[in-house]
Amino acid sequence: MSQGFDADLTACADLVRRADPDRFLAAMAAPVAARAVLFPVYAFNVEVARAPWVTQEPMIAEMRLQWWADALEEIATGGLVRRHEVVTPLAHVLDAPGAALLADLVEARRWDIAREPFADAVEFTRYIETTSGNLLQAAAQALGPAAPEVLRDAGYALGLANWFRAIPVLEAAGRRPLVDGRPDAVQALARDGLVRLRRARAARGKVSRAAGAALLPLWIAGPVLRRAERDPRAVAEGRLGIAPARAQLSLLARGLSGRW
């Protein structure tokens, strides 16, 4: 951790470390200066992602999400921003477009409160793009120039990989996380995620080195999606884990080279 971190940034980093260890490792592999941007954005994501799950009362969950939507509106308008250990440092790194991206993410998370299945493949794709994709885009563009279309592809690939990994937990909670959970359909989804991942990486030149620090979480996407494509039943059975030592070596190499 940087010695220049204040109490708020330290709290953000600790929250991410406990609740989102993959993004924590990716942030720690990023340049030190980038961490002051990444940790508030990732901590925001932790707070919003868990808001619909910490209560059985839909109204309370709605209120939690609305609190974050209101905070983002304060950031977007450039006025007085509420004091909060995540919101305060987030306001220092987001501009109005970045706040708008995260506001759309908050709206997408209302699906988690309703707990209804996705209506169709279009709705599923929109959910992944607006949650994972908007998060990655907001983080990257807070760091430096990057082509939105590359970030959308990268964000979708990462979001799909993480969604696959979460499916056993979601199903145990009574959710129907996929429009079609049959092996052939899962395999097709994984293949589409790999196509978008390869397309994003082929366009690395459209993402500045600074913004590329936000794409380091992609270290997990390729191995997970390839495994899901080879063995789609591994998704529902929770067999998508990556060997920690191998994963951390891969992440370290990507962090040093900047080739996410």
47-97 confidence digits (pLDDT tens): 999 999 988 899 999 999 999 999 999 999 998 999 999 999 999 999 999
Q: Could you state, in order of their start, the residue ranges of all structural domains in the chain?
A: 7-257
pLDDT at residue 253, as a whole number: 75
- pLDDT over threshold 70, residue 14: yes
155-192 confidence digits (pLDDT tens): 999 999 999 999 999 999 889 999 999 999 999 999 99
Predicted TM-score (pTM) of this structure: 0.93
The token pair at 111 is 């699906």
Burial of 45 (0-12, 13-18, 19+ CB in 10 A): buried
95-125 confidence digits (pLDDT tens): 999 999 999 999 999 999 988 899 999 999 9
The residue-averaged pLDDT of 243-251 equals 69
135 near 33, Cβ under 8 Å? Answer: no
Question: In the chain, pLDDT over 90 holds for what percent of residues?
Answer: 87
Instruction: Give the confidence band of 4 by pLDDT, cuts at 50, 70, 90.
Output: low
The residue-averaged pLDDT of 26-52 equals 96
DSSP 176-237: ---S--SHHHHHHHHHHHHHHHHHHHHTGGGB-HHHHGGGGGGGGHHHHHHHHHH-THHHHT
In the structure, how many helices (H) and strands (E) does the chain have? 15, 0
* CB-based burial, 164-199: b 16+ in 10 Å, e otherwise: bbbbbeeeeeeeebbbeeeeeebbebbebbbebbee
- Answer yes or no: CATH 2.30.40.10 is held by domain 7-257: no
The token pair at 229 is 């494509």
Instruction: Give the confidence band of 244 by pLDDT, cuts at 50, 70, 90.
Output: low
